Amino acid sequence: MTSASPTDGRSARWDEHRLARRRALVESTVGAIRAHGAGVGMDEVAAAAGTSKTVVYRHFTDRAGLYAAVADRVDGTIIRGITRAASGADGAPPPPREVVRGVIAAYLHLVEDDPEVYRFIVNAPLLPPGERPEGDVTAGMTGRIAEHVAGIVGGVEGPGTVDDATARLWGVALVGMVRAAADAWLADGGRARTADALADDLTTLVWDGLRPRG
């Protein structure tokens, strides 16, 4: 059996250090967004991290890389909320309608709790035209959330069955609808209702369409 060389050990520790530093820089960026708004600039990001823009770029290559890392972090937050909603407080799956409502509420609560972070992700003001990907800048994040939702919707127990293709379409449709409603709600200042009230309204809207038919 061949043991790892000292060089391999140092390389592994360095990789762990870089990953930890990236995570810390992402959290600092989120803090800068909360402090300065969605239009935060790289100077504010670097200042929040207590470092220079050169160091930030060293870890993320460019602004698009930093944006993608923050989007991954937000993506993970929403997916964890969705997973908790689908599991129930005691670990047992809640009734199907509650699962759908929980999925919707998990997305809306991020918008309500972190509106500037949400605007940063959806509008991507950090990215100048030349660094923006083609199409919807949030397509990757939205697609990952929709894929996760599809797995949950496909596993909801009830009369009838839902095939994988249908579950995927429902996941995309549900996330797209909630995002559109969230954008309009946020543009209105969120004054009309709370995240929970909006989740109730949207659940009522979609439930008959999502409920498996016997």
Domain 1-60 belongs to what topology?
Arc Repressor Mutant, subunit A (1.10.10)
Question: What are the percentages of helix, strand and coil residues in the chain, rounded to 5?
Answer: 75, 0, 25
Q: Where are the domains of the chain?
A: 1-60, 71-210
In this model, does residue 143 exceed pLDDT 70? yes
**28, 105, 174, 199, 207 from 204: Cα distances, Å:** 38, 13, 13, 9, 6
pTM: 0.81
pLDDT digits (tens, 9 = 90+) for 50-108: 999 999 999 999 999 999 999 999 988 888 888 887 776 666 777 888 888 888 998 99
Domain 71-210 belongs to what topology?
Tetracycline Repressor; domain 2 (1.10.357)
